[in-house]
Amino acid sequence: MNPRNPLAAALVLAVAIPALAAGPAQASDGEVRRTGSCTGSADVKIKAKHDDGRIELEAEVDSNHNGQVWRWSIRHNGDLAFVGRARTVAPSGSFEVERRAVNAAGIDAFKFRARHRASGQVCVVRVKL
C-alpha cells in the first residue's frame, strides 16, 4: 500500500474495521464462543448456536486432573435450566456438557457455572445468542 494514496488507506480501513468489530467469538456458521474464568487453574469455555429451532450449548471445563467430580448448572435468561454432575476424564482432565435449550424470543443469555467441591474452585462463563 502506498502511504501517500488516501484512497488505498481508506479502503484498508473500510475492510479492517468491520472485521475487527465482529470479533473472534462469532463463527461464520452463527456459532458464538466465549471463555470464562475460574478461581483456580482450570479453564472454562462455552459455545452456542441455533439448531432446528432450539439452541445447542456445549460447555467444557479443563482442570488437567482426571477423576474430579464437578457440579454444574446452566441458567437461561436468569432461570435455572439444567443441573448435573460430571467427572473429568483422560487424556486432558476435562469434562463437557451438551444441552439443547428452548429458543426464547429476543436474545438468549446463558450462564454456565461449575464447582469442584473438594478444592472450592468455581468456573463461570456467559454467552448470548
Please tell me the pTM assigned to this model: 0.78
CA 108 – CA 53 distance, rounded (Å): 13
**Which grid cell sits at 25?**
467469538
Domain presence at residue 5 = no
Task: Using a pLDDT cut of 90, give the percent of the chain over it.
Answer: 76
Residue 77, pLDDT > 50, answer yes
Check if the beta carbon of residue 72 is closer than 8 Å to that of residue 85: yes
**Which grid cell sits at 95?**
469434562
Domain of residue 78, residue span: 26-128
CATH number, domain with residue 86: 2.60.40.10
Alpha carbon of residue 31 to chain centroid: 10
Cα radius of gyration (the chain): 19
Residue 63, pLDDT > 90, answer yes
Domain presence at residue 33 = yes
The count of structural domains within the chain is 1
pLDDT tens profile 86-111: 999 999 999 999 999 999 999 999 99
Q: State whether residue 84 is helix, strand or coil.
A: strand
